[in-house]
Amino acid sequence: MYPLKRGLLEEGKVKYIGLSEASLSTIQRTHKVHPLTAVQSEYSLWSLWSRGVEKDIIPYLEAEGIVFVAYSPLGRGFFADDFSLQGSKEDVHHYLPRFQGDHVTANQEVFKVICNLSASYLELDDEIIHLLDKTFDESNTYGSQYPSMLIGELEK
């Protein structure tokens, strides 16, 4: 943990700490130094492709009594009815690989499959389960969550 944070903890100025978008190894290392209260991570339909949060992070958090805080359940707005990339060039979406070039077009096709499923009543027969498995296969992920230089920082 950074000296500034450790000093604030020792002085009693910070009682609870949490992390955002951290890898499992970062969570484990930090929790050894000071008990974590919460971990925040993107958790939306995008998460269905990798299931990394479900496979690795959430089981650890549950075992340690750490709260999981999901953010961006609508995939940074992508899965909202009115999503558009027509906004300002300063909009963060323009810098995220999922929303660039061919990636956004390919991801819109995946969204069409999702939209064709009824949210009010859904009976999952084998055909629908197969369609969902095929749609949410990791090979259908177009564009990473963050630019590669940031991914490397998150995984430290």
> What is the pLDDT, as a whole number, of residue 153?
62
pLDDT confidence tier of residue 51, bands split at 50, 70 and 90:
low
Burial environment of residue 114 by CB neighbours within 10 A (0 to 12, 13 to 18, 19 or more) = middle
pLDDT confidence tier of residue 98, bands split at 50, 70 and 90:
confident
What are the tens digits of pLDDT across the range 101-149?
888 788 777 777 777 664 555 667 888 778 777 776 666 666 666 667 6
For the chain, give the mean pLDDT.
76
User: What are the helix (H) ranges across the chain?
Assistant: 3-10, 24-33, 47-50, 52, 58-64, 101-115, 126-135, 148-154
> What is the pLDDT, as a whole number, of residue 3?
56
> What is the pLDDT, as a whole number, of residue 27?
94
